[in-house]
Structure 1
């Protein structure tokens, strides 16, 4: 049955799904990479599609911005629509000197300032980690490309515009490679519901250095990451 946020039917989604933040990027991925894509949900213009890629049924759907919002979609896809494998594809801001623009960060784990997991985990800290096999498969695919990538920890922030800029220095000290907004929520929701997840983020900005990709560079680099995500999906 449809939920308040997803107007699809049982069976409309594949077991494996790619999830960007932007609904228009989900549309672009479906129309560019999937064969015979069909729109299965469009509540609030958050588009979800299902098609095939090299013969494998795959879905793609946007999750919006921020952990609390994204968790609504993660939870409903996991509990109501039978999706088992989640591949987040997004962008992030680098904070570590060793990370450069255009690098792909594969998130092994995600720290956060959000209280989402405190609510889930009875006010204790929960270590939100990727599924190891998906992580391994993703890195294997990346190793066959000429893309520059890093594997490590990201920080999922509830605030896009932080008032405490010096916090980035502390994150870097603890080895955090980049900052985004949804990975922690995805990994913990997957653990809660017995699902698997991996997240990749292309570095489109370097927060502490004030560097940014151009609009054209963003399109090009994100397409390379999408190809990696699709090839990773084929291994599941």
Structure 2
């Protein structure tokens, strides 16, 4: 049994999300016969059926190091296909709260995100999503409503360090949104021979002082993204 995720097995298709309460919400809303496998260290791990296919749902916490621990341990017990469903801050005015994006790639600092010991000196991570899984996300999302945007995201290590100067530099490099876990998870998937992709809901506009986002809008968008993720996962051949 892994050290942090106290479960012996997990279906090969797993939806990952940061917030443990969100993992519970997804499992109770979308799975048939949901079963809580583990809540060790606050990482909620469920299994159940979606469209009669066994799937898992797990929370990975905040930031690259935490997400990597969970992904590594899920891989130890059977996970092979992963989709992160999370939130991101918009870097561009055309992405608004509640919009859904699918990551076409993720940037991160060399050595950042908890990856420094995975690569030899001078070698940077390769945070690219699985093409077939990404296409499945786009296809399933389009069938549920407006097509999501395919976007380049940046995975930051420092939530409170993102000032307007930092955001401007990211925009100039082609990034549309910022979050904290996609880059590490996609890099690990490529290292371990896993298939992974990310679908994200815009929760705020970086650098803009605004009232708190409508939680009902976010909750509805996240549930839609989770449903899309599960549809994409079960559409892949074993």
- TM-score band, normalised by the shorter chain? over 0.9
Instruction: Give the corresponding residue for 2:66.
Output: 69
Corresponding residue to 2:84 among 64, 85, 88? 88
CA-atom RMSD in angstroms: 1.5
Aligned partner of residue 128 in structure 1, secondary structure: coil
**How much does 1:197 deviate?**
0.2
**How much does 1:163 deviate?**
5.6
Aligned partner of residue 136 in structure 1, secondary structure: helix
Aligned counterparts of 2:79 and 2:168: Cα–Cα separation in 1 = 37
Return 46-55 or 144-153, whichever deviates more.
144-153
Any residues of structure 2 matched to 1:81-230 within 5 Å, and which?
A: 81-113=77-109, 114=112, 116-123=114-121, 124-162=123-161, 164-211=163-210, 212-230=212-230
| Post-superposition CA distance 1:173-223 (Å, at most 9, x none) | 111010100001100111111100010110010113334521221111111
User: When the two structures are superposed, what TM-score results if normalisation uses the length of structure 2?
Assistant: 0.92
| Post-superposition CA distance 1:51-85 (Å, at most 9, x none) | 1011100000100000011110111111x112100
**How much does 1:164 deviate?**
4.3
- How many residues matched? 232
| Post-superposition CA distance 1:72-100 (Å, at most 9, x none) | 0111111x112100010000000123322
Aligned counterparts of 1:90 and 1:115: Cα–Cα separation in 2 = 16
User: When the two structures are superposed, what TM-score results if normalisation uses the length of structure 1?
Assistant: 0.93
Indicate if the aligned counterparts of 2:99 and 2:201 stay in contact, CA closer than 8 A.
yes
Aligned partner of residue 154 in structure 1, secondary structure: strand
Aligned partner of residue 150 in structure 2, secondary structure: strand
Unaligned runs of 5+ in 2: none
Indicate if the aligned counterparts of 2:113 and 2:155 stay in contact, CA closer than 8 A.
no
Aligned counterparts of 1:185 and 1:115: Cα–Cα separation in 2 = 6
Aligned counterparts of 2:48 and 2:61: Cα–Cα separation in 1 = 21
**How much does 1:47 deviate?**
1.0
Aligned counterparts of 2:71 and 2:45: Cα–Cα separation in 1 = 12
Unaligned runs of 5+ in 1: none
| Post-superposition CA distance 1:28-53 (Å, at most 9, x none) | 11112111111111111211011101
Distance 1:37 1:115, change over 3 A: closer
Aligned counterparts of 1:145 and 1:57: Cα–Cα separation in 2 = 22
